[in-house]
Structure 1
Amino acid sequence: MEQTCMAEHDFPSESLDPSGEGWEQLRAEGHRMLDEMIDNLATLRERPVWQPVPAEVRETFRRAAMPEESGGLRDFFSAFSRDVLPYSVGNRHPGFMGWVHGGGTPVGMLAEMLAAGLNANLGGRDHAPVEVERMVIRWAATMMGMPETASGLLVTGSSMANFIAVIVASRARPDGVAMRTTGLQGRKLTGYAAQTVHGCVSRAFDLGGLGTDALRLVPVDAAFRMDMPVLRRMIAADRAAGFEPFLVVGTAGTVDTGAIDPLDEIAAIAEAEGLWFHVDGAFGALATLSERFRPALAAIGKADSLAFDFHKWAQVPYDAGCVIVRDPVRHAAAFAQTLSYLSREDRGTAAGAPWFCDLGPDLSRGFRALKVWATLSVYGTRRLGLMVDQCCDVARYLAARVEREAGLELMAPVTLNIVCFRVRATGEDDVALDNFNAELVKDVQESGIAVPSTTRIGGRLVIRAAIVNHRTVRADVDRMVDAVLEGAARRRDCGVRVPG
């Protein structure tokens, strides 16, 4: 049988590149792989949203031996197509509504290929990809109403972006930079965020050496927004007890319900109290692209720092988080290092300071900015803003459908794109009803029809649908609701009585 893909003899001893006709074989295989991935994207609706990884596929990976000899690219892609592609998390599919995951785009996929081909390290040095990231950061800052002179960098996601912001905020205190060498030295720094804040903020306090107890969780009001009078009282109480408040975090789009904290009031309190004002806008900050939602998010422009993800509502492929810091000097002061092997020069490859490794913990960094540039350039912020509107319109349609169904109950206000609801039942305790809804969600996920998730609202387990995918339309949420109702009907004899 004729060899049609690269094998051991195609690699000369001094390189991992193909040789001779191997380049043409690589080209042919590459085109075939790209065609198959484009076909896969074009036909997403024809497949299940998600399906469990079969035991035999798991066993294939668990028992696979380390390759010692060269193999074929075609064999590799065949294994990928058979054992990986059908069993991904499903967030590309329009029926995926479980978590706030962007759906990606073909444009982003192609940009990732270009970035991989370039194989640029954006930790530093003087090269064009660094300028692309600086451009993207400038665009991000102005998009959010912050000055274009703001500092920032692209990171794995908002978990890392929030961590960087917490570190910068702690070092921005009087004598804070000294903590880089001496540590806290007994300083009792405290920060504040709503009880609904994402867990990565607490983790940032943990990893930053501040301790999770240093993050005070502020109760929320009936709309799941941070309670301002309580925040003021907590800050005053801490000062009276000898603590050093340094940070307040407002959330633009909470992970449970999509609520937006009163950012303008938080900004005013932060200014009056001399606190760093940080916004965690992991997905919700990008709603500022929408003319409808921009006013509710205008106070982001007052923030000292902001964390958000391009890989969520902007649909950039994973990963593409972003942190913006208003004051470039304070940002660099928190992370910059002077090391002999990283010397900055006035010309040559080592020119171009400051480098991105001066703004965060990573020295090795991929070219994430290329896929962000491609996405913004091809689709434009206006079209992305309309896509945000579309997602929120679908969420409101879903909420209205839930309210029309006698067997369902809406559990929280719909601020942006997240809808929380559950199946009603009478005559059963809360634990039984929670278990019923939890099992029902797993049924729907395993059906392949849709992927909702669960969360807890007021201590009660609810079904959560986050409309983030640009491909999701009203028919998709109708299929999800139908699957929930049909699953509930099948489970009527499993311990929970559901109105039929």
Structure 2
Amino acid sequence: MTGDQPGPQHTETPPRAASPLEPEDWEEFRALGKQIIDDVVDHFAGIRERPVWQPVPDEVRSALGSGLPTGARPMTAVYEEFRSLILPYPRGNTHPRFWGWVNGSGLPVAAYADLLASAMNATLGAGENAAMLVEEQVVTWLQQAFDWPETGSGLLTSGCSMGQIIALAAARQSRAAEWNIRHAGAREAPQLTVYGSTETHHSFEKAVELLGIGRAFFRTIPVDPDFRIDVPALRRAIHKDRAEGLRPVCLVGNVGTVNTGAVDPLDDLADIAREEDLWLHLDGAFGAFAYLLPERRPLLAALNRADSLVFDLHKWFYLPFDVSCVLVREPGALEDTFSSHADYISRTPDGPASNPVAFADRGIEQSRRFRALKVWFALRTHGLDGFARSIAGNIDQVAHLTRLVDASPRLETVSRSPLNIACFRYVRPGARLDELNALNQEILSRLQLRGLAVPSHTLIDGKFVIRVANTNHRTVRSDMDFLVDQVVSLGDGLLKDGMLDDGEGEGH
């Protein structure tokens, strides 16, 4: 790997095995690299022919639990261990029929970019180098994609869990600045309160705990029948807390809840935040990407009225783990919250310490890997329109699934969303709730254990449901046909085998 600029010219051949940690034979290393690339391409090209998921056998568990290696081994032998012990037993999210939880499917071009990023081994805390400029460019591109204010800023993170902490810390600094909590701590400040619906992701509970606000002061507001935050109940909670001498600082809105894909009424939340002087934070982990589609934009039109927004590029932007983004509206809000100073990281007028942007001053991490390169490669290669087409395709595939479920007398749609999540279950007239829950859990287990498909599950109103969250660029409509056929076939087979009694029950 070479750059375009000439460097110092050296004609001496480096000594063989200049370090015990370098390859002894560079040509052997080159050959292994070529084999690895060939195997990676074969892996991507043949994904559909393999099981979605399979259990890790006991002998593999034993091998992966062996003791610390102390002596050297040939790297070709280590690679063969990887091929036999690790590669055959993935989480499964690269497979076209993986729709569990909310996991991205992994773009091939981004896998190459991750290899190049590791070879460069840049750390993006601060400094004057191309990697820093790439992250600046990528953050700017993402601001443009979401019509975010040009005066705002952001940074890439490991995931929305980190983004929630960063955004809430910025909210605390901005809306409770008079108590200078960074310096004096929270002892002299009033008790802060934060608001979000009962459907808010559990990572926000971690954020309020870690920042000293406390889980008891994260007000979980009930939801309406469509699983969106109850706006009148939210207003009442804010006013009650103010009357009791508490200090509301932040309101959390969901742009696609994990359970059902519900989108909170964003315009209403933005209005309340302005009226009450609250920081509006939006969790758009996957749902924010629907903003890229003109036909879905009305649902998310107020997204850029927020004070902060988080979204995972390793979810509905299909990139390999991990890469996420947090954007903030207020200029300097992140630096006000996180900047720190030490002589050994101070800037110089020129040279490698001269870059004016320091991402370490926008978040918690000083050591930050070159996550931006895979985003840069993917956008340069496929363009924003390519991603939008895949996202639209995922929504269409889930709509097709719900039509199939609605048309089947043996299936029931339990929840649907305008985005990419649907929850359904196998039903039998007269069966009790606990019986149907056990039946659907067994159907799901057989789907997963046989490597046929991997949706996940959740509970909605006490019902165990099969949950499809489609953030998979490899999925096609026929995969949904396959899923429905398998669920019906498995359910019918379990009934034939006598899993449910014939007695009268409470119905479903």
TM-score exceeds 0.5: yes
In the TM superposition, residue 124 of structure 1 has moved relative to its aligned partner by 1.2
Q: Which residue of the partner structure matches residue 391 of structure 2? A: 388
Going from structure 1 to structure 2, the CA distance change for 1:11 and 1:423 (only over 3 Å counts) comes to farther
The question of 1:17 aligning with 2:28 is answered no
Q: Distance in 1 between matches of 2:347 and 2:500?
A: 69
Q: Distance in 2 between matches of 1:262 and 1:381?
A: 26
Q: Which of 257, 262, 276 does residue 259 from structure 1 map onto?
A: 262
Q: Distance in 2 between matches of 1:14 and 1:451?
A: 45
Q: Which residue of the partner structure matches residue 126 of structure 1? A: 128
What amino acid is aligned across from residue 289 of structure 1 in structure 2? Answer: L
- Check whether the contact 2:176–2:249 (CA below 8 A) recurs between aligned residues: no
Alignment of 1:24-103 (within 5 A): 24-62=27-65, 64-103=66-105
Q: Which residue of the partner structure matches residue 419 of structure 1? A: 422
Give the superposed CA RMSD.
1.6
The question of 1:409 aligning with 2:412 is answered yes
User: Identity, % of aligned pairs?
Assistant: 41
Going from structure 1 to structure 2, the CA distance change for 1:172 and 1:39 (only over 3 Å counts) comes to same
- Check whether the contact 1:177–1:333 (CA below 8 A) recurs between aligned residues: no
Q: Distance in 2 between matches of 1:173 and 1:303?
A: 14
SS in 2 for 1:448: coil
In the TM superposition, residue 121 of structure 1 has moved relative to its aligned partner by 0.4
Q: Which of 172, 177, 202 does residue 175 from structure 1 map onto?
A: 177
Q: Deviations over 1:303-335 (max 9, x none)?
A: 110000111111111101110111232211111
In the TM superposition, residue 348 of structure 1 has moved relative to its aligned partner by 1.7
Q: Which residue of the partner structure matches residue 143 of structure 1? A: 145
In the TM superposition, residue 11 of structure 1 has moved relative to its aligned partner by 6.0
SS in 1 for 2:224: coil
* TM-score normalised per structure 2: 0.93
Alignment of 1:161-310 (within 5 A): 161-175=163-177, 178-185=180-187, 187-310=190-313
* TM-score normalised per structure 1: 0.94
In the TM superposition, residue 436 of structure 1 has moved relative to its aligned partner by 2.0
SS in 2 for 1:145: coil
Q: Distance in 1 between matches of 2:332 and 2:470?
A: 38
Which structure 2 segments of 5+ residues have no match?
1-14
Q: Deviations over 1:31-53 (max 9, x none)?
A: 10110011010011100000011
- Check whether the contact 1:257–1:415 (CA below 8 A) recurs between aligned residues: no
In the TM superposition, residue 350 of structure 1 has moved relative to its aligned partner by 1.4
Q: Which residue of the partner structure matches residue 336 of structure 2? A: 333
Q: Deviations over 1:362-412 (max 9, x none)?
A: 011000000001111111111111111100000000000001111110011
- Check whether the contact 2:164–2:310 (CA below 8 A) recurs between aligned residues: yes
What amino acid is aligned across from residue 23 of structure 2 in structure 1? Answer: P
Q: Distance in 2 between matches of 1:339 and 1:355?
A: 13
What amino acid is aligned across from residue 134 of structure 1 in structure 2? Answer: E
SS in 1 for 2:98: coil
Q: Which aligned segments of 4 or more residues in structure 1 are displaced greater than 4 angstroms?
A: 496-499
- Check whether the contact 2:313–2:323 (CA below 8 A) recurs between aligned residues: yes
Q: Distance in 2 between matches of 1:365 and 1:16?
A: 23
Q: Which of 454, 457, 461 does residue 460 from structure 2 map onto?
A: 457
Q: Which deviates further from its counterpart, 153-162 or 432-441?
A: 432-441
Q: Deviations over 1:221-249 (max 9, x none)?
A: 11111111111111111111111111111
Q: Distance in 2 between matches of 1:294 and 1:375?
A: 23
Aligned residue-pair number: 487
Q: Which residue of the partner structure matches residue 448 of structure 1? A: 451
In the TM superposition, residue 175 of structure 1 has moved relative to its aligned partner by 2.8
In the TM superposition, residue 435 of structure 1 has moved relative to its aligned partner by 2.2
SS in 1 for 2:99: coil
- Check whether the contact 1:124–1:130 (CA below 8 A) recurs between aligned residues: yes
Q: Distance in 1 between matches of 2:116 and 2:103?
A: 23
What amino acid is aligned across from residue 180 of structure 1 in structure 2? Answer: R
SS in 2 for 1:217: strand
What amino acid is aligned across from residue 51 of structure 1 in structure 2? Answer: Q
Q: Distance in 2 between matches of 1:121 and 1:176?
A: 35
The question of 1:477 aligning with 2:483 is answered no
- Check whether the contact 2:96–2:474 (CA below 8 A) recurs between aligned residues: yes
SS in 2 for 1:278: strand
Q: Which deviates further from its counterpart, 326-335 or 463-472?
A: 326-335
